[in-house]
Amino acid sequence: MKRTLLLILSVLACSAATLMAQNPAWQPAPGHGTLHLWPNGAPDATANPAPQVNTTTPQQPLIAGQPLVRLGNVSDPTLTLYAPKASNTGAAVVVFPGGGYQILAIDLEGTEVCDWLNSIGVNCILLKYRVPNSGPYPKSPAALEDAQRAVGMVREHANEWHIDPNRIGVLGFSAGGHLAAALSTHFDKRIYPAVDAADQLSCRPDFAIIIYPGYLALSEKNFEPNTAIQVTAQTPPTFLVQAEDDPVHVENSIVYFMALKHAGVPAEMHIYTQGGHGYGLRPTALPITHWPRLAETWLQTIHVLPGADSTTQ
């Protein structure tokens, strides 16, 4: 009897493993082209990585009444293109989901963001970057390597994807917001050996949208600026949103905004009383969740999107 039970359990385990291999934790919806970021394997790769998995459990809270996918163990980073189905303005945004450099909130701060960007005529390129322990730079270079490579690849494919190579920005949440700031200040030199022609093209974003970022102000040092993020006059125009009650600390946005101001970089910041952290763009009764409308207006103001009168600047 025991032998039979062990045999059944073994078969069930093998079947579960096979099913997981056939049904990955997350994959883009059909109709969206995906490229592997590193054709010959990622630099600084982890040996024998664990399989990609959705780490969300039933006990974790819902966001705006909905669950989310917390994608873990990403060792093969990819780019997925979400092109507008109607009007294409030629603008593009590379999206960095957040997750503390441990997981990726791949739908809440990824695919749902692409749906919004597509609705305003913007191409969205979703970066599934490596996690866990892939940042913040310089603690680990992996996520920034992926981000630099991603923007270069988008510029390489700009003509094919009907994208203006001079209107390519980045948008990041939480750790992804830090990644957007890190790329905005580390674009002059690749931090990995060049792979191909994409690495000869600029990886500087033309603009950045940074939502409830972390790692930009050091709480253990009385919220001093992170010295690894050195803003200069070449840092791209930036839009910031955060809540005063964010447990990750609103000082992250404030410190970065002040650095942008002192460097003469055009910047816009919205601070709200309530909002907490990790809301993505799912609308609730809180005003902060309607930040996409403000971001769209800002994109018009800086002439990434048509529609704003230049006299309003």
pLDDT digits (tens, 9 = 90+) for 292-306: 999 999 999 999 999
Residue type, 43: P
Q: Rounded to an integer, what distance in angstroms lies between the CA atom of residue 64 and that of residue 280?
A: 10
Q: Does domain 34-312 have CATH number 2.40.70.10?
A: no
Q: Rounded to an integer, what distance in angstroms lies between the CA atom of residue 77 and that of residue 146?
A: 7
Question: Is residue 16 over pLDDT 50?
Answer: no
pTM of the prediction? 0.91
So where are the chain's domains? Answer: 34-312
Question: Is residue 22 over pLDDT 50?
Answer: no
pLDDT digits (tens, 9 = 90+) for 183-201: 999 999 999 999 999 999 9
Mean pLDDT of 119-130: 98
pLDDT band at 148 (very low <50, low <70, confident <90, very high): very high
Q: Rounded to an integer, what distance in angstroms lies between the CA atom of residue 217 and that of residue 253?
A: 8
Lowest mean pLDDT among 14-18, 189-193, 215-219, 297-301: 14-18
Residue-averaged pLDDT of the chain: 91
Q: What pLDDT is attached to residue 19?
A: 36
Q: Which tokens go with 211?
A: 């939502």
pLDDT digits (tens, 9 = 90+) for 278-290: 999 999 999 999 9
Q: What pLDDT is attached to residue 86?
A: 87
Nearest to 162 by CA among 202, 200, 122: 122
Mean pLDDT of 145-169: 98
Question: Is residue 10 over pLDDT 50?
Answer: no
Q: What pLDDT is attached to residue 24?
A: 66
Burial 59-88 (b: 16+ CB within 10 A, else e): eeeebeeeebbbbbbbbebbbbbbbbeeeb
Q: Rounded to an integer, what distance in angstroms lies between the CA atom of residue 184 and that of residue 213?
A: 14
